[in-house]
Structure 1
């Protein structure tokens, strides 16, 4: 018996009878690869929008992913459930963790030889099992609901997520015990109803679904999406953060080069651009970045005792963290980049110490006799001169030498005015005299 369901782009023929006439409509193939994160969600939204715009008759999801964020998998699952276009998940490699949830939301599941579906227990950013009962219960119910909506046993889906659960699978002669997790091979998935067919190519899947392989559109990432994928890889992200931190700080503490500042700002722009296109960064992260750079530049010209620099640095750090995939995801990269940048900054500061901004706050000039500076008159030239006491010296007073008057002090005793006195020595500003015979 052939079941026909009228669709806007043609007819959907039950794949139980492949001898039926081919369905009408083009086929839209969307790859579901790498980690499941906001970037993939944005990519999938674009794909489904384009498929609906071109009135495609079938969407094929080519799945090969180790999993990722369950919140993003939930968004993708809603995309699949809400579309009016028939969907088939073709698992070419692994549909692990959140990837299995995406596959369970499709109308049909086809698996290639050597592929896998399952192993969907929740883990945190460090790969450790999540212990929160509420999160586990939520994810377990999501998996069960996706399986039930397509007529599959919900207990198996629950066993993919719950380590403590025991699940009987008589179809394949296995029992999942507590502490184990369910991961099904193609043959096992076919027997328990978690796969509808085993195929080795996308064209085979399309033909099995009753569509022509002559009208197939393979969705590809745009140049900006490919660039974003490259820029958000852990190694490149760490390098960009290193160049950004080192370049900006070097330009601030050793102004005048220009190149470090330009490279630093360019690195930060690439970092925020990549995370923005990938769907990680929002407009607020760009605002924090602009504020941070502006504050650091103002620190060069406005005396703020470091306040503007601190605010600018804090703004940049917050922007970097908010723009990343997750806090734990960026923590390691930011730590490594900051440590390497600190070493580079110290080296530059030592090599170019004569040009550092700290020189603005340190008196560099020394006023010496050799440079012609005499802050206090050199009174050693008075030694041996004979003059006349102007006032009584008891023991201090005033004496006149060569027409100039000086404050003097005697070696001891008193000297009346009008007496002849001779300079014995000088001690700083003190002039020591003694009485001599006229």
Structure 2
């Protein structure tokens, strides 16, 4: 009996000892935060990277894993992504699944470790315009500097990184003279740029010695999808058309109606996602608002159509165009080449389209039953029994002077008293003599006094 009890105690002790040893020396589960960079490098990719790294740092992940497949995109957004990766305290590993060209190569170099699937490639980072033409030397020089600095920050050969941009970099064992460097997966591994070839992210984690990972995958939210949809150039063009059309139709109808609501909503949907993405700035929105104010003043306050109206149109167009392009005030060198021209082209084309639609359909649209339901169209006419004041017969045919510009409404002075007045001639300048033709609804209807 005593031997049996002693054996049980020994087995229990051994089990407890083994359990304690395992708990002390066992490798804890590592937290992995994973997200993808696919398609063009632009505002959507930048938003994804910002949100992903914020989440990963918030949960104190052990490693950030990026799966990449891109042919490149906008240099300014690639630089922002590169800087965010370099500034993060978290270890970052990129898995190039097919392509890391141009801006993608820059982002990959910013990561701590690079893995590539078989058949993948990295490189070809010369700066080109939207037609694929290589841009002048100042653009290439900037990109070469980014490549060298990024490679040096991660202990990689800066000359190889520079060769992705500059065909004149001499690397006889790797590339022919005069050619931009692009490396296959095996070539990248052979020169030490990449760690290894991997079939999947699971193989990558095993190569990193991570056997018990807890993987959190970044989710694209509904807000992200809405923003991505709204900053599409085609959608931006439609919103600009609605802004211009809404302002026009509001000016054609009395009071504040549906057309103004459409213009305000369209302007909000145009500027808000661009502001969130870091493209539109406060001064660009203020420039747009100033343009609207100047145009309204020109139409209703200032006689004729001159400096204020022209400045208003310029401010409106520039406010819309500048907000779609990355810039440092009027420095647009950080934006993708050709983007400023394209944004102006989009704004002008949308405004021309809006003008054509207004000319062709404007008057007929104002008379439709559906439009009349949305705006106040009815007038309370005196012949239908409506009245707000009794006519003052004593003022009829009295003479006075315009105290403000009447275009057509304003103020006039008669016998030392000021009255609201409406010019039946359409326009009366300050100081011009007038006479009262009729009095209705608290307003005097006046005409210019004709000099003999």
Q: Deviation string for 1:74-104 (max 9, x for gaps)?
A: 3322322232221101112421111101101
SS in 2 for 1:92: strand
Q: CA deviation at 1:40?
A: 3.4
* Structure-2 change in CA distance of 1:299 and 1:25 (3 Å): farther
Contact 2:317–2:348, Cα closer than 8 Å, also in 1: no
> Which piece of structure 1 moves more, 104-113 or 276-285?
276-285
User: Which stretch of structure 1 is more off in the superposition, 96-105 or 231-240?
Assistant: 231-240
What's the counterpart of residue 181 of structure 1?
Answer: 180
Report the RMSD for the aligned CA atoms in angstroms.
Answer: 3.3
Structure 2 counterpart of 1:243: 242
Shift of 1:57: 0.3
1:6-405 to 2 correspondence within 5 Å? 24-124=29-129, 127-132=132-137, 134-170=138-174, 175-178=175-178, 180-211=179-210, 214-252=213-251, 258-295=257-294, 302=301, 304-306=303-305, 310-325=310-325, 326-349=339-362, 351=364
Query: By how many angstroms is 1:267 displaced?
Result: 1.8
- CA displacement 1:8-49 (0-9 Å, x = unmatched): xxxxxxxxxxxx975653111132233333553344233223
Q: Is the 8 A contact 1:39 1:280 kept in 2?
A: no
Gaps of 5+ in 2: 1-24, 326-338, 368-376, 378-406, 409-422, 427-452
Post-superposition shift, 1:144? 2.7
Aligned length: 336
**What secondary structure, in the 3-state scheme, does the structure 1 residue paired with 2:164 have?**
helix
How has the CA–CA distance of structure 1 residues 305 and 108 changed in structure 2, closer, same or farther, with 3 Å as cutoff?
Answer: same
Q: CA deviation at 1:165?
A: 3.8
Distance 2:343 2:352 in 1: 14
Task: Calculate the TM-score normalised by the size of structure 1.
Answer: 0.66
For the residue of structure 1 that corresponds to 2:278, the secondary structure is coil
CA offset at residue 320 of structure 1? 0.9
- Over residues 107-159 of structure 1, what are the superposed CA-to-partner deviations in whole Å (9 max), with x where a residue is unaligned? 11111234321110012455431213x44233213213333444433333222
Deviation track 1:349-387 (CA, whole Å, cap 9, x = no partner) reads: 5647999xxx979969xxxxxxxxxxxxxxxxxxxxxxx
Q: TM-score, normalised to structure 2's length?
A: 0.65
Task: Out of 36-45 and 275-284, give the one that drifted further.
Answer: 36-45
Contact residue 322 and residue 343 of structure 2 kept, 8 A: no
Distance 1:105 1:22 in 2: 28
Q: Distance in 2 between matches of 1:277 and 1:283?
A: 11
Deviations 1:222-253 (A, max 9, x none): 33222111111122222222222233234335
Which protein shows a greater Rg? 1
Distance 1:48 1:138, change over 3 A: same
